[in-house]
Amino acid sequence: MTTKQTSILVIEDDSQIRRFLKVGLESNDYHYDEVTNGKEGLSEIATRNPDLVILDLGLPDMDGLAFLKQVREWSRVPVIVLTARDREQDKVEALDLGADDYLTKPFGIAELLARIRVALRHSHKEADKPIFENGSLKIDYIKRHVFMKDKEVHLTPTEYKILVFLAKNAGKVITQHQLLKEVWGPTYTEQGHYLRVHMHQLRHKIEEKPTRPKILINEPGVGYRMKIDI
C-alpha cells in the first residue's frame, strides 16, 4: 500500500522560478502542480484540493492579495506567499488576509522546505490537546499553568492570552494587528505599544536570554512568531 504524496500547487508566472521549485519539491517527495495565473489557481484549489499552495503576489491577471482574500472566503488550505515584494505593509496585509507564511525572493529551498513543514504540521494538527509542549515550554490549557523546564511561570492574564494565541499558531507569523485584536479586542488594533510592553514582560519570564529570544521571535515591522523545532 503506497502513501499518498503531499500535493503542492505553485501559482507563479516566472518560468525559471517554477522550474527551480519543481526540482526542489519533487526531489523532496512532494507532488508538484503549477499554474501561471490567479484564475487557474482558484480552479485548481477548488477541483484538486492541494495540501498547500505557494503563491506569487505578482500574478498577470489579478493581484495576489485579492486572490488570497477570495480563497479565504471558502478554503483554509495553507498558503505560503513567495514574492519579490519586500515591503512590510505587503507582508502584514498578506498575513492579515490569511497567508500562513511569507518568503521574499531570492530564497533558499532549504528555508522554503522548513516553512512548508511548519505550515503542513499546523494544518494537519489534531483537535487542540489539553497540554502544549514546545521544547522546555509547557502550557496546561485546562489548569492555565505555564512551565519552563518544569518550573511554573506565573503570568498575568494578558501575558497568558498572548502566549496561548502564539502557541496555538506555533510556527506561523502573527501580525501585531491579529494579536491586538485577539487579546485586547477590535478597537485596540492600532495600539502597538500595548503589545510591545507585554511582550517585553513575557520574554523576561519565558526566555533564558530575553534580549536574544529563542522562542518568541520578533518579525520586524510585522509581528511575532513562536519558534518550534522544524
pLDDT at residue 142 in the model: 82
pLDDT at residue 130 in the model: 82
Total-model pTM: 0.74
Indicate whether 140 and 199 sit together in one domain: yes
In this structure, of 14-28, 30-44, 53-67, 115-129, the range with the lowest mean pLDDT score is 115-129
Q: What is the DSSP string of 125-190?
A: --SPPSEEEETTEEEETTTTEEEETTEEE---HHHHHHHHHHHHTTTSEEEHHHHHHHHT-GGGTT
Indicate whether 91 and 174 sit together in one domain: no
pLDDT at residue 127 in the model: 45
Indicate whether 11 and 119 sit together in one domain: yes
Q: What is the pLDDT of residues 48-65, one digit of tens each?
A: 889 999 999 999 999 999
Indicate whether 98 and 64 sit together in one domain: yes
Indicate whether 34 and 85 sit together in one domain: yes
Rounded CA separation 82/12 (Å): 9
Residue 1 predicted with pLDDT over 50: no
Indicate whether 111 and 135 sit together in one domain: no
Q: What CATH number corresponds to the domain at position 221? A: 1.10.10.10
Structural domain harbouring 15: 7-123
Give me the number of domains the chain comprises: 2
